[in-house]
């Protein structure tokens, strides 16, 4: 049943752009027929009335028995196909400023916006995992963490100007534009939405200042709530507003017991080799890897588990407790999960947050 998108709280989908999705396990449902599964998930999300679909940018996997994220589709070109296959859902693609010139990105996202009829958004990922970029000669040892965000700030300012101005001249630390032009302009007004998920202090400041939506993280519900409130406070101090979103995996069954049994089954197939490599790429010290890996487990995000009614209660409680403006959802089986969510959970959430 189609539910009209809400202006109050948004519920979207983190598409499985890379094999394995967000459960690192040999026993979770396979997500390796990438284009077919992404297209089906996006069309289903559109049909049930979800607000957005988003895909990440990924260039190298984590190995292990499952070669987790070793196969991935490129975000912007995939989302152009998704845009043509859908009608209402917003289309958010990911770009790394370290890899794409801002003028190229401005044109790419403007093109996506025209293909989608004004539904495009840009997820900006300033941080990087060294192995992904080093393999293609794009890692710059002279840029530390803060310098990468300085580059991203300059990059973002240029993209915004190119979407608005007829000609851009810019001589900065990282980029030079000489009478740079980018036409046609995006259809979205005032421009395509900007999304970012910087978690460090420097990244957090950038996300709140430059983006419209800030994805927040945290190891506990309390940390996620604190980060959400922190983002809103910083935005207020800057004289602007910010929306805070988070991620959530939904594992549902006919009963709570059946859903919990599914979770335990997925845990039995945990790919510890891939988890260790993922944590290593995140910079977890070698002497803490084993402990953190066991704490991390197969599930990469906050998880709602149970019957549809139980999951609905958990999702609503999560959004309310963390004072979120939106939630990006993940499912073991996307089409099955989205159909359930659209029929049995989304109507109640629309009513609760009307």
What mean pLDDT is reported for the chain? 94
pLDDT bin (cut points 50, 70, 90) of residue 7 is low
Q: Report the sign of the C-alpha dihedral through residues 193, 198, 202, 208, in that order.
A: positive
Rounded mean pLDDT, 82-87:
98
CB 120 within 8 A of CB 186: yes
187 pLDDT above the threshold of 80:
yes
Percent of the chain with pLDDT over 70: 98
Separation of alpha carbons 103 and 100, rounded Å: 8
Give the pTM: 0.94
Burial 269-300 (b: 16+ CB within 10 A, else e): ebbbbbbbbbbbeeebeeeeeeeebeebbbbb
């Amino acid at each position: 049943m189609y539910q009209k998108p809400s202006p109050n709280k948004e519920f979207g989908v983190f598409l499985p752009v890379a094999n394995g999705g967000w459960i690192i396990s040999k026993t979770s449902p396979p997500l390796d027929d990438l284009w077919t599964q992404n297209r089906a998930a996006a069309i289903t999300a559109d049909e049930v009335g979800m607000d957005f679909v988003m895909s990440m940018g990924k260039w190298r996997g984590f190995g292990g028995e499952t070669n987790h994220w070793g196969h991935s589709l490129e975000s912007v070109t995939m989302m152009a196909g998704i845009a043509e296959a859908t009608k209402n859902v917003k289309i958010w693609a990911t770009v790394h400023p370290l890899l794409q010139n801002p003028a190229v990105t401005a044109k790419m996202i403007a093109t996506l916006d025209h293909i989608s009829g004004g539904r495009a958004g840009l997820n900006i990922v300033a941080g990087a995992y060294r192995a992904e970029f080093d393999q293609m000669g794009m890692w710059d040892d002279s840029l530390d963490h803060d310098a990468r965000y300085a580059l991203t700030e300059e990059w973002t300012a240029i993209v915004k100007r190119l979407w608005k101005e007829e000609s851009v001249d810019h001589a900065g630390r990282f980029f030079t534009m000489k009478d740079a032009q980018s036409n046609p302009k995006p259809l979205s007004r005032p421009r395509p939405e900007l999304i970012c998920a910087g978690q460090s202090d420097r990244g957090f400041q950038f996300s709140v200042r430059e983006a419209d939506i800030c994805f927040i993280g945290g190891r506990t519900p309390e940390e996620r709530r604190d980060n959400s409130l922190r983002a809103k406070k910083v935005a207020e101090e800057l004289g602007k507003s910010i929306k805070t979103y988070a991620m959530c995996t939904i594992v549902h069954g006919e009963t709570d017991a059946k859903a919990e049994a599914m979770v335990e089954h997925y845990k039995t197939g945990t790919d510890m080799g891939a988890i260790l490599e993922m944590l290593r790429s995140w910079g977890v010290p070698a002497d803490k890897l084993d402990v953190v890996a066991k704490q991390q487990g197969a599930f990469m995000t906050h998880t709602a588990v149970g019957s549809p009614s139980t999951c609905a209660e958990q999702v609503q409680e999560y959004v309310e407790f963390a004072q979120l403006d939106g939630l990006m959802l993940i499912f073991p089986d996307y089409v099955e999960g989205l159909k359930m969510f659209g029929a049995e959970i989304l109507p109640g959430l629309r009513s609760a947050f009307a």
